[in-house]
Structure 1
Amino acid sequence: MTRTRWKFARIIGIIAASILLYLLLGVKTYLYKASVFLPNAHPNEVWEYVADFSNMKYLNPTIEDFEIIEENGNYNHWQYTVQYKEHLSHWPYLPNYAKARFSIKPDESKSKFFIKSFHTTCLINDFLCLNSESEFSFTRGYSSHGVHCDEEIAYECPAIFARFCEREVKYQRDAIMLNLKRRFQ
């Protein structure tokens, strides 16, 4: 092979490897929805319980520790920022650290209550940081009894780890809904 051909083949190889790495490691956004109906609860009762981050250690078994670093507002619009440490459910010896901003608002005219949050979660000492956004709503049941709890999450994940990320999100959200059901039986 001539020197020119060798350089050309090498350049093509580097470009192909770069494209492959981008496709495998490129961060994409995925959606997940979780819900539960609690027949014996009132929307604002469940909303207030979930809005208090200290209850997250009970609801989400992966959370190990947290600290509220900022909060302001009142009942009509409360906001706070929290830093927390959690372990991965399917790889528990790898902790991750997150910072999240919560916005808690009622829409009492419709008996609907919201918790919106934006999280930045980092693995391996800020090596890989990913964002997620959640809207958790609490709505009165159709027959004026109970509460529908619905959460929609948009989360980032490298394409190569998509299945792992999906399992992690599903585990945490399902645990939260199951523990809410247990708490408000």
Structure 2
Amino acid sequence: MSAPTPTGTTAVDADVYTAVATFLAREARLLDEGREEEWFELLADDLLYTIPIRQAAEPRTAEINRSAFRLRDNKMNVRTRLNRLATGHAYSEVPPSRTMRLVGSVEVSPGPGPDLVDVSSALLVYRQRGIDPHFDLIPCRRNDRLRWTGEGLRLVSREVILTETSLLTPNLGVLL
């Protein structure tokens, strides 16, 4: 039986929560280990991956502009991005970033359909390149929609809400 959560949505059972948390942990490990092709298999064909603009001068309730994006990709765009990275000529990633993704504050609720779940999580990405002593910390919140399939969970949509309004990292060459 589901219990109401503080936000008024219905909670999911422990097995669903565990499956989602395991999916997010696996996804983070695959990306940290440079296994982007395996990560790509976790994406639904109808994927929409967005990073909307955050505006510091707006009130908190209106600071996310969901009609303007730092990034707005579908699965084909992600495929193109991965193909480019594999050429060795994606200069924003030469040398490749070394990353560690910490995923936490995971909340899972039923999605709009029987095979969908909505997930909110916090992500902190540590990023360092080559022998450069400088590193970046990229904090964000992610709003995901996952779909149950015969092969397991697949990422249908991801909205990344960056904590920073002015990015301190030189580029967003890593996947969040």
TM-score (norm 1): 0.33
The structure with higher relative contact order (CA 8 Å, sep 6+) is 1
* Structure with the greater alpha carbon radius of gyration: 1
Q: Which has the higher strand share?
A: 1
TM-score (norm 2): 0.34
Q: Which has the higher helix share?
A: 1
